[in-house]
Amino acid sequence: MNDERRKSRNVTIVLFLLCICTALACFGIFICIAVISRSQGPVSQQMITVSKIIVMTGIFFLVLAFGHLLPILISYKNMRKGESDMSEIFDETNMREALDRYIPSGETLLAGIHAIAREINIKCIFSKCIRTEHKLIPDENGVTAELSKKKNSTYDIYIGITQSSLVFSDCETQMYLYEFKENPNVGQAGIQEVTSDIYFTDIGKCFPLADIQSCEIKKGWMGSVKCRLTMKNGSYFRLLFPKLGGLGGGMPHHTKYREAIIAQLNKNTHLTDI
C-alpha cells in the first residue's frame, strides 16, 4: 500500500469515526434533555425546538457516515503488491481505457462510472469450441458448452453505456468461479459460435441494452443507488452506484454519468423503483 493511498484511507476512517461519534453525542444529549425535562414537568416549545435541532444534527452525521464515507471505505481493500491503488481506480482516464477494451466497433462510451459489485452471475453458451485452462478455442468438431461465471464478494468495477451496449470492466484483477456444462439442452437462440480464442476474463463484459430483461432500483444511504440487473439469457448483477466518485476529484463527471446510466437503464427496461 503506497503512502498516498494509506493517507487517503486513514483520513476517510477518521472522518467516518468522527461522524459516528458526533451522531452518538447528539443522540445522547437529546436523551439527557428528554429525561431532565420530563422530571421537571411540561416541556417548553423552545426546548422542543432545540431537541429537534439536536436530533436532526445527529441524523445528518449518521447519514454522512453511512451514505458517503462507508461506500468509500468498502472500496479500500488489501491489495497485493503490483496491483492498482485507489487513486488509479478513481480516475476517469483509466476508467475509459478499461471500458474501451470491450466496446463494440463503431460505438463510443457515452457515460461511465466506478461502481461496486456485490454479486455477479454470468451465463453464456458457446458452440464449436474446446475448453482449455484459460480460454475457449475454436474447433469445428468441438462441443457446445454453457459457461457460468460467478463472484459473490464485494469488489470494484467500472460500468458504462454506449449507443446500444452496456459495458463492464474490473478495476483490478479478480478471481471468478467458473462452471461448465457440455451439450446443454437449449435451442439455437443465444448460442455464440467460437471463431477465435475467447479468454474467460473477457466473457460477460458487454451486453446489448436490448438484452436487459429487468432492472430493479432501490435507494441506498444518502443518494447511493442499489441496482439489480437481469439479462434475457439469465445473467444477473447486483450493483451499488455510490453517490460520490471517490476521494481526490479524479472522477469529476461521476454524478452526471451516473444519472445518465440510470436514465438509459430506465429507457431500455421496465424499471422498478422499490
- Nearest 5°: CA angle at 248, between 116 and 72? 30
Is 96 in contact with 109 (CB distance < 8 Å)? yes
Q: With b meaning 16 or more CB within 10 Å and e meaning fewer, what string describes 190-218?
A: eeeebeeebebeebbbbbebeebeebbbe
User: pLDDT class for 272, splitting at 50, 70, 90?
Assistant: very low
Evaluate whether residue 107 is within a structural domain. Answer: yes
Instruction: Verify that 126 and 260 share a domain, yes or no.
Output: yes
Evaluate whether residue 148 is within a structural domain. Answer: yes
| Three-state SS at 139 | coil
Number of domains in the chain: 2
CA distances from 32 to 13, 15, 36, 83, 269 (A): 29, 26, 6, 50, 51
- The residue from 13, 47, 75 where one domain ends is 75
Is 142 in contact with 130 (CB distance < 8 Å)? yes
Instruction: Verify that 244 and 268 share a domain, yes or no.
Output: yes
Range 132-141 average pLDDT: 91
Domain CATH number, residue 126: 2.30.29.30
Domain containing 143: what range?
Answer: 86-273
Range in 52-61, 170-179, 209-218, 248-257 with the lowest mean pLDDT:
248-257
Range 9-28 average pLDDT: 87
Highest mean pLDDT among 136-140, 217-221, 249-253, 270-274: 136-140
Higher pLDDT, 270 or 116: 116
Evaluate whether residue 47 is within a structural domain. Answer: yes
Instruction: Verify that 179 and 269 share a domain, yes or no.
Output: yes
| Three-state SS at 11 | helix
Instruction: Verify that 64 and 152 share a domain, yes or no.
Output: no
225-251 pLDDT, tens digit per residue, is: 999 999 988 899 999 998 888 765 678
Evaluate whether residue 81 is within a structural domain. Answer: no
Evaluate whether residue 269 is within a structural domain. Answer: yes
Higher pLDDT, 269 or 165: 165
- The residue from 75, 101, 131 where one domain ends is 75
Instruction: Verify that 183 and 112 share a domain, yes or no.
Output: yes
- pTM, rounded to two decimals: 0.68
Q: Is the dihedral of CA 57, 59, 60, 65 positive or negative?
A: positive
Higher pLDDT, 22 or 249: 22
- The residue from 20, 40, 75 where one domain ends is 75
Q: Taking all residues of the chain, what is their mean pLDDT, rounded to a whole number?
A: 83
Range 132-145 average pLDDT: 91
User: pLDDT class for 4, splitting at 50, 70, 90?
Assistant: low
Residue whose C-alpha is closest to residue 26's, from 64, 66, 53, 63? 53
68-112 pLDDT, tens digit per residue, is: 777 667 666 544 434 445 667 888 999 999 999 999 999 999 999
User: How many beta carbons lie within 10 A of that of residue 241, not counting itself?
Assistant: 23
Compute and round to an integer the Cα radius of gyration of the chain: 24
Res. 37: pLDDT tops 50: yes
Whole-angstrom Cα distance, residue 55 to residue 25? 10
Q: Could you list the beta-strand ranges (E) of the chain.
A: 111-131, 135-138, 143-151, 155-161, 165-170, 177-182, 191-193, 198-199, 206-208, 212-219, 225-231, 236-241, 271-273
| Three-state SS at 84 | coil
Evaluate whether residue 214 is within a structural domain. Answer: yes
Range 134-163 average pLDDT: 92
